[in-house]
Amino acid sequence: MNRFMRSALGLGALAAALTAAPVRAADVDQHLPGDTNVVVSVNVKQLLDSPVIKKFAIGKVEDALKTDAETQKVLKEIGLDPLKDFARVTVALTSGAGPEKPLVIIRGKFDKAKIEAKAAEFAKSNADKLKVSEEGGAKVFEILGGGSPGFASLASDSTLLIAGTKALLTEAIAQAKGDKKPTLSKDLSELIGTADDKATLWAAVLPGVADKMPLPDPNFKKSLEMLAAVSGLVSLTEDLKVEIGLVTKGDDAAKSMAPQVEQGLEQAKSVLPIFLGQQEELKPVIDLVNSMKSSSKGKTITIKGGLTKDEVEKAMSKIK
């Protein structure tokens, strides 16, 4: 995967790892491919505005950007400040694309005309690095070099699309323009509708994502077969709160799975200190897992946990 794609995915991964809290139900994004089975959405603005991130992380990110003169020059020329202009990053994985080929939807503030003009100008003298084409009336930029190519397009002054394949990108463009009707599954649409759009991070996962995974443990496979969906929320303001929802195919499935979940949590609480206990910087992970508790209601098993403000600040202070 090339450097541009790694940077885009890295932003999503960083935000996901650190991440937010519930208020308004999330909307189903019109760009999501029909065969999407995993959606992770990060409220970048809420994350960057959280006191703990402002205190421990923003300065380091700003310093990192300043040390890369080339990046600074490009950002200035196109009038883009990622720390101010990015509002939300959503990553979608599909059943056909694989983990290396996601669709990344970045919402924010972009000068579409200026960015496209600068990119076209760059492509003229750097044909081995950037190729420009047009699909469905939209400019498509193919980022070359490194490993697999990446594809990007500005759908508007508020939406940047990045994809691992051209097919994913063109499908997203067509859906946004209304040339193709979105075909996202009803199950995933409903699951996204239960997410909190004001959370720092929310995730919606259909069990089909595990179909291609090697599952040597038949008991684990049986457990997965009882699931209809998995959801998650992470809230980071001053405290860190984590909530995972395991939606089973029925009340009986939940009753059967609940003891397994509880047992798994207890095993994790026993094993993690053995493997991570000697690494002081990983102690917050142990504290977070130790805080986790599960409960069951109807067909849903909920796992909740978190860290206090002091624990979060102690963990963040160790990031170099």
Q: What is the pLDDT of residue 214?
A: 62
* Cβ atoms of residues 196 and 21 within 8 Å: yes
245-260: pLDDT as tens digits: 999 999 999 999 999 9
Edge-to-edge strand list for the sheet holding 150-156: 130-135, 138-143, 150-156, 159-163, 103-108, 86-94, 36-42, 201-205, 227-236, 240-248, 300-307, 293-297
What is the spatial distance between Cα 162 and Cα 140, in angstroms, rounded to a whole number?
A: 10
Nearest Cα to 100, choosing from 54, 147, 169, 49?
147
Which amino acid is present at 210? A
- pTM (2 decimals)? 0.82
SS (H, E, C) 209-269: HHCCCCCCCHHHHHHHHCEEEEEEEEEECCCEEEEEEEEECCHHHHHHHHHHHHHHHHHHH
Instruction: For the chain, give the number of residues.
Output: 320
Q: Token pair of 222, please?
A: 């049986």
Nearest Cα to 123, choosing from 114, 113, 133?
133
Q: What is the pLDDT of residue 98?
A: 52
Q: What is the pLDDT of residue 209?
A: 63
What number of other Cβ atoms are within 10 A of residue 219's Cβ? 9
What mean pLDDT, rounded, does the chain reach? 84
* Cβ atoms of residues 211 and 268 within 8 Å: no
The CA–CA distances, whole Å, from 145 to 47, 116, 169, 170, 173 equal: 32, 20, 19, 21, 24
What is the spatial distance between Cα 292 and Cα 304, in angstroms, rounded to a whole number?
A: 5
Q: What is the pLDDT of residue 180?
A: 81
Q: How far apart are the first and last CA of the chain?
A: 26
Q: Which residues of the chain have pLDDT under 70?
A: 1-24, 96-100, 146, 208-218, 277, 319-320
